[in-house]
Amino acid sequence: MLPLSMLGGTLDPVEEALSPWQTAIMTDLALVWFKRDLRCTDHAPLAAAARCRSAVGLYVLEDEWLGAPEWDPQHWEFIRQSLLELRDNLAARGMPLLLRRGAMPLVLAQLWRDYPFTELLSHEETGSAWTYARDRRVAAWCRERGIAWRQWPQFGVVRPLAQRDGWAEAWERFMARPPLAAVGQLPGTTTPLDGGDIPSLDALGLPAARPIPPAGEAAATRTLESFIAERGSRYLHTLSSPLLAERGCSRLSAHLAYGTVSMRQVVQRTRQRLRELRKEGSAEAGERARHLRGFLSRLHWHCHFIQKLEDEPASEFHNFSRSYDGLREDDWSEERFLAWAEGRTGFPFVDACMRCLRATGWINFRMRAMLVSFASYHLWLHWRGTGLFLARQFLDFEPGIHWSQMQMQSGTTGINTLRIYSPNKQWADQDPRGEFVRRWLPEWGSPDYPPPIVDEQRAARIAKERIWARRRQPEARAEARQVLERHGSRKDRSRTPRPKAQPQPPTTTEQLELFAGE
């Protein structure tokens, strides 16, 4: 598979704010394609559309997405609610939002006959493989008709990127630019167009979704403000506990995944609050600032992991380090998988976390790490199968973060520290009074609850031996150096990366905060 950067039609994210055509007066007919950017604020395609003679918005419900193995009804329900608000917000500014269903090039062709747009405006997307293939078809369709497809980066992912020298500085420059204000008035169109319905799951003949939190741009703003102003005051003390993290984490992960708020808005609002706290100068303000700095540090890693999928799209399917091919592929056990997926492994804390995730679509970072670790090491299950299951459970599924983290937790990147979570130790540390387990596992302690599916210590020891047997091989060591040089984050463009000096992705105690998009 070619890297996404080969699609073309994109702008250098370092220079996108200074692009001359972006600031020029545009007179063509524009189609703004909404994907995972369901907002009006800090939205470069909308800002460009405001300079056009006529513009309409478009969201396409793609059957390819509905049939994808990572799709779940809760994903559409969150998008549907966000689209309802977005349609009203755009209408208030004079722009219609069209909803269509079908394959993207076919939808474009049908719309083009009624509305002969000459500009297709959108954000870049680093998504699952089907979105990559879809974008290639869209690019070909636009080229054949002489339509200019303009794409903007949505956050700090760079397209194209040869290597990571200076990547951190590019991220910082992007995040430091002022977020684009919501456009006050948009041009709209005099062409009569059918807006189309934004269908419910029931209208689509699809299963009902589990309950989801409020969606849309207004809900994202409320969630951000409540975290910055109050909920984040003990962030570092709450993020590891499944009981406390429910309120103490930002809970912005789904909003970031679907773009009802931009990463730049979150970064800059957090920095603004830190400046306010510094001015206050009290001990209490200093303590609040410490927790918000901890949150801000994790935002830096969000784009780092998505950049990995941008540069290595095959990592959705194959081991990041191919030296680990064949390690687990032939050992899949459907019995072990179902016990893990259904929350009946006989390990109470593991099962309670899985039950919570399946019921709510969210659980905190450390518990996600434990679930993946337990499946990958104690049950020796391949990350692809367990990753698809988790993608359907996570309301905040973000492909770049998801697959990078699945592989890190499974030990197949070749460069990250091998950490195997002890589920019983995590239970003792994070739920010492058993409150969380009793809430989600009412049969715990009764004859109905099964015995442990594996011997914890023996399974962990065997898994560690298997991984290290591969990691010690010369070809694995050589590949690890190549992976580090290609994907290690570093600041000095002139310096060749050295493994011992390299900043590494956060440790297991931190990294799944990003898994949740926090």
Least Cα distance to 395 among 367, 349, 436, 362 occurs for 362
Neighbouring CB atoms inside 10 A of 347's CB total 26
How far apart (Å, rounded) are the C-alpha atoms in residues 61 and 372? 31
Q: What is the pLDDT of residue 177?
A: 94
Scanning the structure block, which residue is given the tokens 């580090």? Answer: 484
Confidence at residue 27, expressed as pLDDT on a 0 to 100 scale: 60
Give CA–CA dist 301/307, Å, rounded: 10
Spatial separation of the C-alpha atoms in residues 348 and 434, rounded to whole Å: 9
- Asked if the peptide bond before residue 432 counts as cis, ω within 30 degrees of 0, the response is no
- Do residues 301 and 506 touch, judged by C-beta distance below 8 A? yes
Report the candidate in 198, 174, 217, 262 with the shortest Cα–Cα distance to residue 61.
Answer: 198
Q: Could you tell me the domains of the chain?
A: 4-154 (3.40.50.620), 217-312 (1.25.40), 314-515 (1.10.579.10)
The model's pTM: 0.90
**Residue 10 near residue 55 (C-beta atoms within 8 A):** no
Residue showing tokens 């099962």: 351
Q: Is 295 annotated as a binding residue?
A: yes
- Other beta carbons less than 10 A from residue 402's beta carbon: 26
307, HSE (Cβ side, Cα atoms, 13 Å) = 25
Q: Is 235 annotated as a binding residue?
A: yes
CA distance linking residue 222 with residue 210, whole number of Å: 22
Q: Please say whether the beta carbons of 261 and 221 come within 8 A.
A: yes
456-471 and 474-487 helices, crossing angle to 10°: 80
**pLDDT means per 10 residues in the chain (518 residues)?**
40 37 60 98 96 96 97 98 98 97 97 96 97 97 97 91 84 94 91 95 96 98 97 95 96 98 97 96 95 92 91 93 93 97 98 98 96 98 98 98 94 86 96 97 96 97 94 85 69 42 35 41
Q: Which amino acid is at 463?
A: A
